[in-house]
Structure 1
């Protein structure tokens, strides 16, 4: 097994969870900022453990709108629900920053961990959290105004930098559940307040403290 995998498992308290035969099937993968790990309805064959960086999870609504469900930071698991349900990927997952994940095939988990009580308890805990997150996300648009959602989105998408590509404001509007016109109006308000600068397809954050105050708390996290 890669020494880096052993170090990550130890870091996140998972050293005793997996037998050696499962560890031997694990591998490390890197994804660049903006790269998609998989799309909604893709076939699911492996589970990912997020150990470095930040992910964005979104879904396509019945109305054809792509909505943000959550942003995830380490430690988190992607593909656990699909593993249990034996179904295609439910959501779309993209890297917000450069990320590192540990991949492990479903086949090895099913062969070696199907009756392993600590693993089943671990899955139960993580999947319960996922459904709580999804419930909060689905109610989100009813609870928060657009300016709060925009502020939170800008903060969540720029965890390590001050600039965000804004070439597709229509996509951004869909993700936070509003119209392009309303989004543009809020961005103009933020720019007028001196919190951001929107220029040449980019949004530069000038006052993160003001945006944090607007968001109240970083609600997408």
Structure 2
């Protein structure tokens, strides 16, 4: 990556991956998230993986342009500092959540961070996925354990699952299950 990207529209998922292929959810990004700031400032290879959750629009500035024209601009560097401190805060929160929170809390938080209730939470929200194992890996658990959690939520009437579709049936109960944790 040789550009600093500004998320203007859409939602992204930020993960960290190791050589074994296991990844961990760090945060979700919303407009006006900045991507590539760590790589710009530290001159290091890409540190995280970014995936669009929905259709996204970015504005990019090349590192060369920024280094020549913007690194002495106090407003620009203040904005970078603000975003970097936010990333530190969210990574600290994600670490605490991934180490200390239950899988139920993490999964509920993942759903709450991924979906939004729209105009009426009573209609429920849907997530279509073929990759329960990928979600489990992001949450630091196994797909079997995640399936048990989903089954328990279904038994409680909080969640519905039909094939590849996961639907929140009780938004308030899911909020309670998330224990106020967000990957944002």
The match for 2:121 is none
Matches within 5 A, 1:113-192: 113-159=70-116, 162-192=125-155
Shift of 1:162: 1.4
TM-score (norm 1): 0.74
Query: What whole-Å deviation, never above 9, does each CA across 1:156-204 have from its counterpart, x for those lacking one?
Result: 2223681112311111110001111110000001111112211121112
2:36 aligned with 1:73, yes or no?
A: no
Gaps of 5+ in 1: 1-43
Higher RCO (CA-CA < 8 Å; seq separation 6+): 2
Aligned CA-pair RMSD: 1.8
TM-score (norm 2): 0.88
Aligned length: 178
The match for 1:41 is none
Greater gyration radius: 1
